Structure 1
Amino acid sequence: MPQRVPLDAIHADLEALAPYARSFADELGSLYAYFEGRHGGGTLLVWAPRALAPELLRRLPQDYRGRIVVGLDASEGDAWPFARALDWASPQAVLLACEGEGFYHAGGGWKEVGPPQEPRRVPLEDGGEPLELVRTAPTSVRYRELRAYPAWSSPPLDGSRPGDGVAPQAHLARARGLRVYAAGLLDLDQAWTPLLERLGSAPD
């Protein structure tokens, strides 16, 4: 599980991004970088753990229309920072990047039960109340994280498949009517083309 990110590390990342893209940090310590493509197209939010930033930035597409907003999560993969990212970026589509491989159009559908020290992941429909944890962001903002994540599904794209519980936060984007997908870093190149085509952001 990701560790809490020190605030000074977030400031250092922000300084590193500033020469290359319009960037800022929000009230929860999430970082945002805005990359502008050619005229036309839509806005794609690419949401990823902060630790994956170097590899993710290397793998961004070089030619596209519209805007790619890279959001770097300073939390432990919580839902509230992702919800705030949707507010800040106002995207037309979302890609959640994670470690490993795979390209997914469905996931989530689980909760955590039991004591916080030894949580168990079970299907959402199983009995038992989900854990509700109090989190503290690197900025010292506190929020509650209900460890229950409904299943989500978007229209399939070329090469995508359902995932086993992947990208649990993605249900928040679907609830707003957004098309959302998830991809491992090793398969990002496979995901860009069909996703940008669906968004109307593919180059000529």
Structure 2
Amino acid sequence: MRKEALFADLEALSGYVRAYVDEFGTLLAYFEGGRGGRTHLIWAPYEEALTALKALNGLAFSGRVLLGLDPSPGSPTLEGRRLSGGARAPLAHALARHRPDRLYLLQEGRGLGVRYPGGKETEAGWVGLDEPGKPLVLHVQAPTGLVYREERLYPPWEATPLPGLPLTEGPYLGGVGWERGVPTYGLGLVDLALSLEAVLGLG
């Protein structure tokens, strides 16, 4: 993603909500709900920005929602290959800065992602942690010019299910939240507005 396009999007979004771009090129936007409630970080691939914004539009909830639009999927690296999915470092940075009560990672499909068995990306592709092959170590180039290291190895995680949604496997980045003590779930892009209504309605 080009830096110019990122800041053009920031300017457009800032006309409606409070927003900023951090060092990793993540565009973060704040949505204020009713009094009380938790702070929820909703983390979405940048290409799903419109889907996420439409789902949040007009949604009634208590507390605060911070939407993080992550440009790392597909980002170039110094090694000459593009990332096949999101990176750990931008998410870890947002969690450390904003300290949300819950984290929802948007993913393909429908329902609530509650577990991930662990995996790594190797030269041969994605495999289980116990399978042969070393994880790739890549140096990712953010739209802001920042270069950061990403080891493509992700531990297993499992969450206590929340009521009201069908359950499915979660995304590999879920461990980033759980490592920091933040309850973390995947949230499917299909019927996203209904899913957000269900989970944000829990307070």
**Kept in 2: contact 1:108–1:171 (CA 8 A):** no
State the alpha-carbon separation in 2 of the partners of residues 191 and 152 from structure 1.
21
Please list the CA deviations of residues 16-42 of structure 1 after superposition, one character each: whole Å capped at 9, or x if unmatched. 110211100001110000000111001
- Counterpart residue number, 1:100: 109
The alignment partner of 2:191 has SS state of: helix
Q: Work out which of the residue numbers 84, 88, 94 in structure 2 matches 1:79.
A: 88
Q: What is the rounded CA distance, in whole Å, between the counterparts of 2:112 and 2:194 in structure 1?
A: 8
Q: Secondary structure at the match of 1:168?
A: coil
Map 1:105-144 → 2, pairs under 5 A: 105-107=114-116, 109-114=118-123, 119-144=124-149
Question: Compared with structure 1, are the counterparts of its residues 108 and 95 closer, same or farther at alpha carbon in structure 2 (3 Å cutoff)?
Answer: farther
Greater CA deviation, 123-132 or 43-52?
Answer: 123-132
Alignment of 1:172 with 2:169, yes or no, is no
Q: Does 1:196 align with 2:197?
A: no
- When normalised by structure 2's length, the TM-score is 0.87
Query: How far did residue 194 of structure 1 move?
Result: 4.0
CA distance in 2, matches of 1:98, 1:34: 21
Structure 2 unaligned blocks of 5 or more: 74-85
Match of 1:53, as an amino acid?
A
Aligned CA-pair RMSD: 1.6
Checking the alignment, whether the CA contact within 8 Å between 1:108 and 1:169 is kept in structure 2 is no
Shift of 1:67: 0.2
1:108 Cα deviation after fit: 5.2
CA contact (8 A) 2:117 2:156 kept: yes
Q: Which position in structure 2 is the counterpart of 1:145?
A: 150
Contact 1:105 1:160 in 2 (8 A): no
CA–CA distance in structure 2, aligned partners of residues 74 and 25 of structure 1: 11
CA contact (8 A) 2:43 2:69 kept: yes
Q: Percent identity?
A: 39
Counterpart of 2:167 in structure 1 is: 161
- CA–CA separation in structure 1 for the residues paired with 2:158 and 2:198: 16
Contact 1:108 1:149 in 2 (8 A): no
User: Quick check: 1:100–1:185 contact (8 Å CA) kept in 2?
Assistant: yes
Shift in CA distance, 46/108, structure 1 to aligned 2, threshold 3 Å: farther
| Per-residue deviation, residues 46-76 of structure 1 (Å, max 9, x unmatched) | 0001111111111016111110000000112
2:188 alignment partner AA? G
Q: Please point out which of 9, 13, 17 is paired with 2:13.
A: 17
